Amino acid sequence: MNDKICEFVESHKSEMVRDLAELVAIPSVSGDPERGAPFGAEAKRALLKMEELCKGMGLKTWVIGDAVLCADLGEEPELGILAHLDVVPAQTENWITDPFALTEKDGVLFGRGAIDDKGPAVAALWALNAVKSLGIPLKKGVRLIFGTDEENGSKDLEIYKQHAKFPPKVFTPDGSFPVINVEKGMLSVRFNGNTGGNYMEFRGGNIPNAVADKAKTIMRKVTADKVRAAIPEESEAKFTVTERGDNVFISCDGRAAHASTPEKGVNAVTALLSLMNRVTDEPGLRGIEKLFPFGETDGAALGLKCADESGALTCVLSMLAIMPSGECEGTVDIRFPTCVDLQTVKDKLCAVLESHRLKCEIIIGSEPHVVPEDSGFVKQLLSVYERVEGEKGECIAIGGGTYVHNIDGGVAFGAERGDTDYHMHGANEFITTDELLKDAVLFAHAIVEICG
């Protein structure tokens, strides 16, 4: 059976890449709700494109609330494979290719959504098509579920739950192999207040759940020479300083990373804050830097530092805007381990922010998600991984929340592998062609293992 599945997938490589290209070409960043498109027109367009692909394979499809697409093979689905078609924004100037035109270079497929999560979604689709086309008998049904709001809180799944039940077993290719069974809790907070200054403006970051790779400011009452002299020699952040009349323009280039792994990035927001405080004396600005020091990722300055077997707490000041009036607004992303609960983290964070005269608003909050390693579902997926990949399969814990974070018993199965940096949420996101095919083979075997 393995040979047949591999042969089928390999023989349809060009179609898989074509399908992925068509989805990547749709800039499906969640947008303002419209009639018939609760998460924006582009997200809905991606949903309709995937529906077209599913119908072309003879799958039974229906759309729930203009937000979620279901594609079934068989009756009474035992297994659900949950993927999302929405993506984070892309700053085109940082890409080596057009982010919304899938580009292949030496076996690497570049494009926004290639790994998160359009590539894995296409692999899941072709996995089910392989099982169907090869006539592999299934005793239980399979449901593909494609949503459009994973990147902004998964409100699409709330719509799904109003109309349908999730199958008893659900995995998402929105994480890593072998199996992710533990996900940290998540807290996203927006704060606002006034720095007290009236001589600068600042903007940095445009994604709430990523380390900012760009920040810029306009400063007065300082000189460009003074700013340049204050730049640390060994800083990983890169600064550009330009003087125009009485204004000094400073831009900072950092390195993007997912908010769950901030140690892999260089935060342009906190780097620029640190530089500004070297050349000016503004208590409000210093207060923000004190809470979010450049290079710190564990929330120690906020009194939140903690860790257990699921990992350490991470904290990212992902977005910050300061107006010339001193009015400011920022976003903080926190991932916390199983040794602490949401209420505790929320209370500590808001208390510290409010002590600095910053009002806080909770955007997203969820407890850690844990599925026992010895559950039958986890064992089935690990068995498939070991058989197909030929290596030991083990459970892992992560800081990022996958699409199944709020689904009982749900786990992540794919699609990142090892320590590879796929530039998820950053510039030049990619998946390799070989891995796209491997994912389809693995998912096909998982379908047969669980439903065959």
In tens, the pLDDT along 409-448 reads 999 998 999 989 999 888 999 999 999 999 999 999 999 9
Residue 42, both tokens: 């582009």
Distance (Å, rounded) from C-alpha 381 to C-alpha 385?
Answer: 6
Split at pLDDT 50, 70, 90, the class of 198 is low
In tens, the pLDDT along 374-390 reads 999 999 999 999 999 99
> For residue 176, what is the enclosing H or E element?
strand 175-176
Residue 278, both tokens: 């070297």
Distance (Å, rounded) from C-alpha 154 to C-alpha 169?
Answer: 19
Q: What is the pLDDT of residue 4?
A: 95
Distance (Å, rounded) from C-alpha 123 to C-alpha 116?
Answer: 12
Residue 413, amino acid: F
pLDDT at 365 over 70: yes
pLDDT at 91 over 90: no
> For residue 21, what is the enclosing H or E element?
helix 13-24
Residue 342's SS3 state is: helix
In tens, the pLDDT along 330-362 reads 999 999 999 999 999 999 999 999 999 999 999
Residue 106, both tokens: 């030496």
pLDDT at 196 over 70: yes
Q: What is the pLDDT of residue 160?
A: 97
The answer to whether 444 touches 411, Cβ cutoff 8 Å, is no
How, if at all, do strands 210-211 and 185-194 pair?
A: unpaired
Distance (Å, rounded) from C-alpha 165 to C-alpha 77?
Answer: 10
Residue 244's SS3 state is: strand
pLDDT at 23 over 90: yes
CB atoms closer than 10 angstroms to residue 303: 11
**How large is the average pLDDT for residues 281-296?**
93
Distance (Å, rounded) from C-alpha 335 to C-alpha 208?
Answer: 13
Residue 228, both tokens: 């340049």
Backbone phi, psi, residue 155, to 5°: -70, -20
**How large is the average pLDDT for residues 217-235?**
91
Residue 27's SS3 state is: coil
Distance (Å, rounded) from C-alpha 218 to C-alpha 232?
Answer: 19
Q: What is the pLDDT of residue 199?
A: 66
Tell me which of 326 and 146 has the higher pLDDT.
146
Distance (Å, rounded) from C-alpha 334 to C-alpha 239?
Answer: 27
Q: What is the pLDDT of residue 242?
A: 94
% of the chain at pLDDT higher than 70: 99
